[in-house]
Structures are given as C-alpha cells and as structure tokens.
Amino acid sequence: MKKESALIVGSLAFDDLEMPSGVFNDVLGGAATYASITASLLTPVRLVGVVGNDFPAAVLEDLKKRGVDTAGVEHADGKSFRWRGKYADDLMSRTTLDTQLGVFADFRPKIPAQFKRTPFVLLGNIHPALQLEVLAQMDRPKLVVADTMNFWITGEPKLLGEVLKKVDLLVINDEETRDLTGIHNIVKAAADIRKRGPSRLIIKRGEHGALYFDDTGMFFAPGYPLEEVVDPTGAGDSFAGGLLGYIARVGDVDHQTVRRAMYFGAAMGSFCVEGIGPKRLLEVTPKELAERMKLFTALVDTGGPVALND
C-alpha cells in the first residue's frame, strides 16, 4: 500500500433536508465534503473548494484531523453553497426545493502549488469549464476521475465533451448515462461513452450497485442491502471518494484495483445512507470498515468456482 494522495475538487455546502423522519437544517453537505470524508479513511486527501463566511472553522479543523489537507479551500466573502431538498417517503426519489450557489457562483478553482503533482484526481460535479481549469493546472496525474450531472449534460454538452476527452474514469449514474447518450441499454450506452474519451466508466445504480467498463470487460459490484436507510444524500459522492481513496492507497490503476475499489466505494455509500448527512460517515472506525468489507465478501461468496465440472 503506497497511500498516495488524492485531490478532490468540488462543493462544500449546507443542506436542508426534508426527510420522511423530519426536517434537518444546516446539515454539512457538498460532493467534495462527502468524498473527502470517505477518501480520507483510506489515503491522504487534498481538498479544493470554496466556503463562505458562514462555514464553521471547526468543520475544516475536523477534516484536517482526518488527513484532509484543506490548503485548497478558499474562503470567500458571502454565503456557502446551500441546497434544500425533499425526499419521497420511500427515499427513492427527491425534489430540489431551493439552490443558493452563494460563493460557489464565482468559484474558480486554484490548485495550490504543492497540490499540482497529486497523482489521483477527482473532479467533482462542477461546471465542466472549471473541471478543465483544474486539469490545466495539474501535472500529469496517474488517474483522473470525473463526475457530472444532468444539468451540465443538457446545458454544456460541448464543454462536457472536452472534459470527457481528458478524463480516465467517468463515474455517473444510470439516468445520467441515458441522458448523455440517448441510449436506453446500459451496455450500449457505456460503449458509446467510452468512445468519447474515458477509457474507463462506472455507472452507479444506487442500491442496485455499480457497473464498471474498461478494455478488459465488464465488472459488477453490488450495493449492500441494508435494513435501515436514513438519508441517501451524498451516497454517490461517498462512493466516488471511497473508490478513489482505495485506488490512491494501492497506488496503481490496474483494472483489478479498480474492481476492488468499487467495493470500498459501495461500503462508504452504505455507511453514508445510515445517518442524516455525513453523521454516520464521520463516526466510521477502521474496525467498522473492515467488518463491513467482511459482510460484502460474505454477500458474494460462492465458496468456490461457479461452473459445471462434468
């Protein structure tokens, strides 16, 4: 294990969550927050983002204690990014009630000099122009992972196309996959996306797990079936952070490293949904992570090869 560093660029935010179980205001949120918390359970993290005057210094202090270098977190005059959403009773869908970009509206990521050689990079779900600006500042990373969303797929297809040409591994969900390609079949859509640039692609399917596509073929990792799901917010970002955190920890980009990394991503996602916001994630101990990985191993254990022997 090399424990190389992972650079994570994206939003730090507050979420107001209207859950079936009640309303939770001022919950720590943001894609980069979730991804940093989960990646830092596995490897040193370098965080790039922006916060407003209202962002508690204590949160950044806590991230630092977890091995997150916050030198790339800009402090801007104004309010932090805030998202308000309401979840359906079964938590399977959600509606955005309000988005206040705040200081995030004028965010131009500046990569500190000492971050420019970070080998593993996660471009969170930000404007593709900003994703390109980040890449322009980096010095030959080993692996660039990117997320995006329907808003950019629809609104900035050309710039997003430029991003796709420059990333190694795109991580999106199945709905985004279909929106990006106009192809319903996931396997065909994956082939279409890989032709546009990223040689590797992960398609997240929520509780149904995630598919990975590269030149060696197709891989599937399940989600862990949980008895209690409290709040799905940040699960996808937790997956991405766990994924990149594990890859950086191992320090290579072999396809089997990525395959195993998906289980760590899934484990982080499974912890994430067990609490409101990042509450549960912030409590996860190395022992708990090891136990969750054992549960995952048991979940898919066939006790031997699956083949006819006669």
Q: Which residues bind a copy of itself (CB under 8 A)?
A: 1, 42, 90, 184-188, 205, 208-209, 211, 217-220, 222, 225-229, 249, 256, 259-260, 263-264, 286, 289-290, 293-294, 296-310
15 Cβ contact partners less than 8 Å away, ≥ 6 residues apart: 24, 27, 28, 29, 82, 83, 84, 85, 233, 277
Our CB check for a copy of itself shows the closer of 13 and 230 to be: 230
Interatomic CA distance for residues 78 and 281, integer angstroms = 28
Our CB check for a copy of itself shows the closer of 2 and 117 to be: 2
Our CB check for a copy of itself shows the closer of 97 and 299 to be: 299
Contact indicator for 246, 265 with CB cutoff of 8 Å: yes
Our CB check for a copy of itself shows the closer of 97 and 295 to be: 295
Q: Provide the minimum distance between the beta carbon of 218 and a copy of itself in the complex, in angstroms, as a whole number.
A: 6
Our CB check for a copy of itself shows the closer of 106 and 291 to be: 291
Q: Provide the minimum distance between the beta carbon of 40 and a copy of itself in the complex, in angstroms, as a whole number.
A: 14
Q: Provide the minimum distance between the beta carbon of 171 and a copy of itself in the complex, in angstroms, as a whole number.
A: 17
Q: Provide the minimum distance between the beta carbon of 258 and a copy of itself in the complex, in angstroms, as a whole number.
A: 10
Q: Provide the minimum distance between the beta carbon of 191 and a copy of itself in the complex, in angstroms, as a whole number.
A: 8
Our CB check for a copy of itself shows the closer of 105 and 299 to be: 299
Q: Provide the minimum distance between the beta carbon of 250 and a copy of itself in the complex, in angstroms, as a whole number.
A: 10
Interatomic CA distance for residues 289 and 198, integer angstroms = 30
Q: Provide the minimum distance between the beta carbon of 48 and a copy of itself in the complex, in angstroms, as a whole number.
A: 26
Our CB check for a copy of itself shows the closer of 22 and 304 to be: 304
